Chains A and B, each alone.
Chain A
Amino acid sequence: MSAYLPGTLTDLWDLLEEADTAVMAGGTDLLVRRRAGKCAGRICCLERIPELRGVQEEEGVLEIGATTTLTDLLESATVAARLPMLHQAVRQLGSPLVRNQATLGGNMCTASPAGDTLPALYALGAQAVLLSRRTERVLDVAEFIAGPGRTALEPGEILARVRIPLPEPNAVQHFEKVGRRRALAISVASLAAVLRLDGDVVRDIRLAFGSVAPTVLRCAEAEAWLTDRTLTADNLRHAAGLVRSAVLPIDDVRATADYRRQVAGNLLLRLETYRP
């Protein structure tokens, strides 16, 4: 087994020509899988390619390099001010030690149903910028993530950047995660929500649930029902029922499907705290 640390994209494309080459960002998922005997072969680290790292704002869109670490995101003033839901989600992911090396792109490419940055990215309408030697394509995050542990990446292609349209400053951004403990807990259920209020009337709402379906679930039924209704406990309770019908959770070591279904609905009730 060999490990490579190319310093340029040109060198990277050459390395990716060879079969059995795994791409590594922070290594916090990949090296655990490797230790378990999965994904043998060569490793190509992205950490030394400057174009793939950093946070930049341009015309209302935040572009985040795929190998930007989660600690970098927490320390970004723009992320804290304009994307508080992503900031909150990242604060609850892993531990400081994990966040010092884990990356946003890595969390997306792992494509876990419980990936903690994903609900926020779905709710924010993020896009993935994919590069290969000859192509560049842009996919919505929901298209990029093809299933549990699967992405739309083709051989020789990498996730280079994430584009996040910044919500208007007065939009409500909410994230809540339920886990067995605070640090290093894999989510049992989570909710990321972006909403625009007109007084206490919901004008626009996006709801993305984590860990309750094979991929992050946008709940269109609850979104449609809440639109143009007031943000009252009664209305939220009704929408929570729609959420419980829409989710497709599983039983696993962390929680039962019934518990996840119940909690997914309950997470919605918290939005009442944003009622003016």
Chain B
Amino acid sequence: MIIRFCINGRDTELDVRGDERAVDILRERLGLTGTKEGCGTGECGACAILVDGRARLSCLTLAAQLDGRDLTTIEGLGSPEAPHPLQQSFAERGAVQCGFCTPGMVVAAADLLARDPHPGREAIREALSGNLCRCTGYSRILDAVHKVDER
């Protein structure tokens, strides 16, 4: 089936199969490999993307469900030249080690900041509770989100 959506500000049209998932078309068809697939069952959060402004699990979303939606992936939040404040803060505060969980963490944090621009640490812990990191131990990730607008 043909689906049309806006991804990272660009109108896109794709012919997708019914069994393709959102994460499949992002990575395999559109070359947006910033979005990661970890567990494939919704428990790790590495595949999070923004759909109409809310964070969703792209491994548990069918490609067909994207029809008519507005998507933002980690590539659309910022670029190496003009990073999103969260991306800048993660880099500056050493909140990245292997980097696999980072796109999902940043996307989930962006969803939080859109609704609560100055969250406390408990709200951040709650918002990131569906994102697993196996390297950093989370403290620096919490710091990076908490101090995002400090320089």
Q: What is the interface of chain A, defined by CB distance below 8 A to chain B?
A: 1-5, 27-28, 31-32, 35, 42-43, 45, 47, 71, 94-98, 100-101, 182-184
Contact = CB atoms under 8 A, between A and B. Distances in A.
Contacts of B111: 96, 100
A184 B130 contact: yes
A5 B57 contact: no
Interface of B: 1, 17-19, 21, 40-43, 45, 48, 54-57, 59-62, 64-65, 67, 108, 111, 126-127, 129-131
A5 B108 contact: no
Contacts of A35: 40-41
A33 to B, nearest CB: 10
A28 B18 contact: no
Contacts of A3: 1, 18-19, 62, 64-65
Contacts of B59: 31
A29 B131 CA distance: 18
A259 B54 CA distance: 39
Contacts of A184: 43, 129-130
B25 to A, nearest CB: 13
A165 B79 CA distance: 51
Contacts of B1: 2-3
Contact of B130 (A31, A47, A97): A97
A43 B60 CA distance: 13
Nearest to A184: B43
Contacts of A96: 55, 108, 111, 126-127, 129-130
B64 A5 contact: yes
Contacts of A183: 129-130
B54 A100 contact: yes
Contacts of A101: 56-57, 60-61
A94 B130 contact: yes
A96 to B, nearest CB: 6
